[in-house]
């Protein structure tokens, strides 16, 4: 290569022609220059030159679509006769947010490749000069339009020759220009919001993604795109721009990706209107600040909190009755050896169930699902199943049926048996019953766990399990405590009957959750199954034939109830004062304070906070007095936008309470609210 150049130089010298020469231009902020991949050009050849823009730190120029403000660099040519130029080619831009605006542009050094074709009759031995008049806007917090002229003089030779310095750099710049990729499929799906989905090979390694439309009017540039990935690709949430026609026709633009290994990729897409491509979403990408891995001290603290949370779970209304019966079985007279074995088996059951849940979460997370704690209750079938379980336990406590007979397949059935298996299943049942009652400590510990590595996550869940099992184990190992339990007697029957009612209460609450998920039909179906279940359980006491009749009745009812219970209702129309990032922005723009409640019907802590704090008259009055908008983000059913926002605040589940004082950054409130706390938070800002 060097030899050819030397030859070209030699030839040029002999012919008296100078070398390729560039006339640069510069301002205080920007240097511009043309460079050619060819040091000498042959007649008729097509070659690439670049316009190089070097921008000082803190300033930027703009992409072909500048976004909300700004203007792209413009070039107009004065060329020797017969020379032709192609379009200026645009490297992939960066997203440059500025207050309520989003701009697309470049910083540092930019190389814009341009194709030039020399005419076949270009005269060998002559020099040609390409002159470009440039106009660009360069901005930091203020913008300055600049203009200048640059030129490039190239010798025409019988044999063209590469420029050793610029040919490789220009080849690199050309390769980086976003190009269409036939193997990538893209769909734009209309809706509120609209969705852009793209198929990608190796989608799991994508860490960040952004879509840049070619049209200024196509999308609301500043609205968060909530990029997420699935097994087959990535997808974006888009809000319409002034054109307001997302999904009506093809949408063209550039997608940029950052992969796990730090590699940046950019390609051009033309999304056709159509349904969302399958498996292209679910796991939010970290366009939000990445969550730092926790220090070991923080991990230990999280395990400690998990342990405390586990302890507290013992007195949850849905757990207490289950555990009370177990505790009473220790009452007077349990052989201490047997009690210890049962205590340990119970702990084992708790641990195994918690770890199984953790593993399930891990599997779902790695499959790209946007899951958080409480994910179980986002499935109507699980909600309905738990309601029936609580109902059945209640019936058992009332003495409607005993577990001596044939019904042993229920967890509750096995748990009621006095044996070793029973102790294990009591643990499992207690954990299953406890999942809806996410205590405050547990929520923060699990929230932390879900953002961490698999090992840390399992450790935190183990901490939770040990805390949860601790009281019963202590009881099993401390005869002193056992003696504190009153002697068994007829009073135990009464206690059992009383304890049935919290169980029914819990079942009613789950029925309420189901109204949100599946609607009235699902609840009616649930009540039908509950009735059939009660009949079957009662009938099973009357002998084999009746047991069969009960089983048939239950099976038929299940067949009837299955469709309404398993159909998840589409997310409700946003008629309530529903949360959306755009709504928050709009309200803040009006100068109003905004209080956002991230909640779910199945989240007890949330409902309690609503009851004891948010809906208190004093709080309602304070919101009204200070003109604070109250928005609710309902996570009862899956919602990626909410999951993404929760992740931004390091949470994997609800509740999350945010207060945006007028014109200031949001304040994160604790997960345990009180009337005073909310009032103080608001007043603190009012001063």
Partner 1 sequence: MIFSRRNLMLGAGAVAVATGVGGFAFVRNASAAVETGAAAPAFSVQDANGQTRTLSEFAGRTVVLEWTNNGCPYVRKHYDSSNMQTLQREAAAAGVVWLTVISSAEGEQGYLDGAGALARARQENAAPTAILLDPSGTMGRAYGARTTPHMYVINGEGRLVYQGAIDDQPSARPSSLEGANNYVRAALADVAAGRPVQTAQTTPYGCSVKYRA
- Residues 35, 166: contact at Cβ < 8 Å? yes
| Whether 596 contacts 658, CB under 8 Å | yes
Q: Does 506 bind partner 1 (CB under 8 A)?
A: yes
Which of 25, 77, 83, 135 binds partner 1 (CB under 8 A)? It is 135
**Binding-site residue total for partner 1 (CB under 8 A)?**
73
Q: How far apart are CA 523 and CA 569, in angstroms?
A: 12
Q: Is residue 240 a contact point for partner 1 (CB under 8 A)?
A: yes
Q: Least separation, in Å, of the C-beta of 555 and partner 1?
A: 31
Interaction mask 241-280, partner 1, x per CB under 8 A: xx-x------------------------------------
Task: Give the CA dihedral 352, 354, 360, 361, nearest 10 degrees.
Answer: -160
Length of the chain in residues, anyone? 687
Binding-residue pattern over the window 428 to 447 for partner 1, x denoting contact by CB under 8 A: --------xx-xx-------
Rounded CA gap, 482 and 328, in Å?
A: 9
For partner 1, which residue of 271, 320, 357, 361 counts as binding (CB under 8 A)? 320
In the list 144, 288, 327, 328, the residue contacting partner 1 (rule: CB under 8 A) is: 144
Distance CA 401, CA 403 (A): 7
Q: Which of 5, 12, 128, 137 binds partner 1 (CB under 8 A)?
A: 137
Q: Which is nearer to partner 1, 210 or 239 (CB)?
A: 239
Residues in contact with partner 1, shown as a per-residue x/- string from 635 to 674 under the rule CB under 8 A: ----------------------------x--------x--
Show contacts with partner 1 in window 104-123 (CB under 8 A).
none
Choose, by CB under 8 A, the member of 43, 148, 317, 528 that binds partner 1: 317
Q: Does 618 bind partner 1 (CB under 8 A)?
A: no
Structure tokens at 255: 């997608």
Which residue, 266 or 276, is less far from partner 1 as judged by CB? 276
Among 168, 197, 196, 198, smallest CA distance to 181 is for: 198
> Shortest Cβ distance from residue 308 to partner 1 (Å)?
9
Among 262, 337, 480, 591, binds partner 1 (CB under 8 A): 591
Q: Which position among 23, 109, 172, 217 is part of the footprint of partner 1 (CB under 8 A)?
A: 217
Could you say which of 193, 224, 564, 661 contacts partner 1 (CB under 8 A)? 193
Q: Residue 595 CB: number of other CB atoms within 10 A?
A: 24
Interaction between residue 686 and partner 1 (CB under 8 A): no
Closest to partner 1 by CB, 69 or 107: 69
Distance in Å, CB of 321 to partner 1, minimum: 11
| Residue 141 binds to partner 1 (criterion: CB under 8 A) | yes
Q: What separation in angstroms does the CA of 313 have from each of 307, 378, 384, 471?
A: 10, 21, 22, 11
Helix (H, G, I), strand (E, B) or coil at 112: strand
Using CA atoms, how far apart are residues 593 and 293, in angstroms rounded to an integer? 33
Strand partners, 219: 240
The H or E element spanning position 495 is helix 491-539
CB of 668 to partner 1, least distance (A): 19
* Shortest reach from residue 188's CB to partner 1, in Å: 15
Chain positions 67 to 106 lying near partner 1, rule: CB under 8 A, are 68-71, 74, 98-101, 103
Question: Is the Cα torsion angle 450, 452, 453, 456 positive or negative in sign?
Answer: negative
586 binds partner 1 (CB under 8 A): yes
Q: Which is nearer to partner 1, 44 or 145 (CB)?
A: 145
Q: How far is the CB of 577 from partner 1 (least distance, A)?
A: 4
- 296 contacts 302 by C-beta, under 8 angstroms: no
Asked whether position 632 contacts partner 1 by CB under 8 A, the answer is yes
**Who's near 40: CB < 8 A, 6+ residues apart?**
8, 11, 12, 20, 154, 155, 156, 157, 159, 160, 161
Q: What phi and psi values does residue 663 have, to the nearest 5 degrees?
A: 70, 10
- In 122-273, beta strands by DSSP E: 127-139, 143-155, 161-162, 179-180, 186-189, 194-199, 206-213, 228-229, 233-238, 251-259, 264-273
Q: Which is nearer to partner 1, 315 or 404 (CB)?
A: 315
Site for partner 1 contains 474 (CB under 8 A): no
């Amino acid at each position: 290569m060097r030899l050819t150049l030397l030859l070209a130089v030699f030839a040029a010298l002999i012919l008296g022609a100078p070398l390729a020469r560039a006339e640069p231009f510069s301002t205080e902020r920007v240097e511009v220059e043309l460079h050619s991949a060819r040091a000498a050009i042959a007649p008729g050849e097509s070659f690439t030159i670049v316009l190089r823009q070097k921008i000082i730190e803190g300033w930027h120029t703009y992409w072909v679509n500048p976004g909300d403000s700004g203007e792209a660099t413009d070039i107009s040519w004065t060329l020797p006769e017969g020379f032709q130029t192609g379009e200026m080619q645009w490297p992939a831009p960066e997203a440059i947010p500025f207050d309520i605006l989003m701009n697309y542009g470049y910083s540092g050094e930019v190389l814009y490749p341009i194709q030039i074709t020399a005419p076949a009759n270009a005269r060998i031995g002559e020099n040609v000069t390409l002159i470009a008049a440039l106009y660009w806007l360069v901005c930091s917090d203020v913008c300055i339009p600049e203009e200048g002229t640059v030129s490039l003089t190239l010798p025409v030779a019988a044999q063209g020759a590469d420029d050793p310095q610029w040919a490789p750099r220009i080849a690199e710049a050309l390769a980086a220009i976003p190009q269409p990729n036939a193997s990538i499929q893209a769909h734009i799906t209309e809706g509120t919001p609209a969705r852009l989905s793209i198929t990608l090979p190796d989608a799991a390694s994508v860490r960040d993604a952004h879509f840049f439309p070619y049209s200024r009017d196509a999308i609301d540039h500043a609205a968060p795109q909530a990029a997420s990935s699935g097994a087959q690709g990535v997808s974006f949430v888009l809000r319409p721009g002034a054109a307001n026609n997302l999904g009506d026709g093809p949408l063209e633009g550039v997608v940029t990706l950052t992969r796990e290994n730090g590699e940046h990729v950019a390609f051009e897409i033309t999304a056709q209107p159509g349904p969302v491509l399958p498996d292209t979403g679910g796991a939010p990408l970290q366009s939000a600040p990445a969550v730092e891995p926790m220090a070991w001290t923080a991990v230990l603290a999280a395990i400690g909190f998990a342990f405390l949370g586990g302890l507290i779970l013992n007195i949850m209304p849905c757990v207490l009755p289950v555990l009370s019966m177990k505790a009473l079985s220790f009452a007077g007279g349990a052989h201490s050896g047997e009690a210890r074995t049962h205590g340990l088996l119970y702990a084992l059951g708790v641990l195994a169930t918690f770890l199984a849940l953790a593993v399930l979460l891990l599997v779902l997370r790695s499959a790209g699902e946007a899951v958080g704690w409480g994910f179980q209750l986002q499935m109507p079938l699980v909600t309905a199943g738990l309601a029936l379980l609580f109902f059945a336990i209640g019936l058992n406590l009332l003495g409607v049926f005993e577990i001596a007979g044939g019904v042993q397949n229920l967890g509750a059935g096995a748990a009621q048996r006095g044996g070793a298996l029973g102790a294990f299943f009591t643990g499992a049942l207690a954990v299953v019953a406890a999942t809806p009652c996410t205590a405050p400590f547990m929520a923060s510990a699990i929230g932390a766990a879900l953002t961490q590595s698999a090992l840390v996550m399992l450790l935190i869940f183990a901490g939770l399990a040990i805390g949860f099992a601790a009281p019963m184990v202590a009881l099993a190992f401390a005869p002193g405590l056992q003696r504190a339990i009153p002697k068994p007697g007829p009073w135990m029957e009464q206690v059992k009957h009383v304890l049935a009612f919290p169980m029914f209460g819990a079942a009613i609450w789950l029925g309420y959750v189901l109204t949100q998920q599946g609607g009235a039909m699902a609840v009616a179906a649930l009540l039908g199954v509950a009735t059939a279940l009660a009949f079957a359980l009662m009938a099973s006491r009357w002998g084999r034939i009746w047991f069969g009749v009960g089983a048939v009745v239950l099976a038929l009812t299940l067949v009837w109830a299955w469709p309404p219970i398993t159909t998840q209702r589409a997310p409700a129309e946003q008629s309530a004062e529903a949360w959306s990032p755009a709504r928050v922005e709009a309200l803040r723009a009006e100068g109003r304070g905004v209080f956002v409640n991230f909640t779910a019907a199945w989240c007890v802590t949330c409902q309690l906070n609503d009851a004891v704090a948010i809906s208190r008259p004093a709080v309602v009055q304070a919101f009204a007095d200070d003109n604070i908008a109250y928005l609710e983000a309902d996570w009862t059913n899956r919602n990626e936008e909410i999951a993404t926002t929760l992740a931004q605040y390091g949470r994997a589940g609800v509740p999350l309470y945010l207060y945006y004082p007028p014109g200031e950054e949001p304040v994160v409130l604790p997960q345990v609210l009180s009337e005073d706390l909310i009032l103080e938070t608001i007043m603190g800002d009012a001063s």
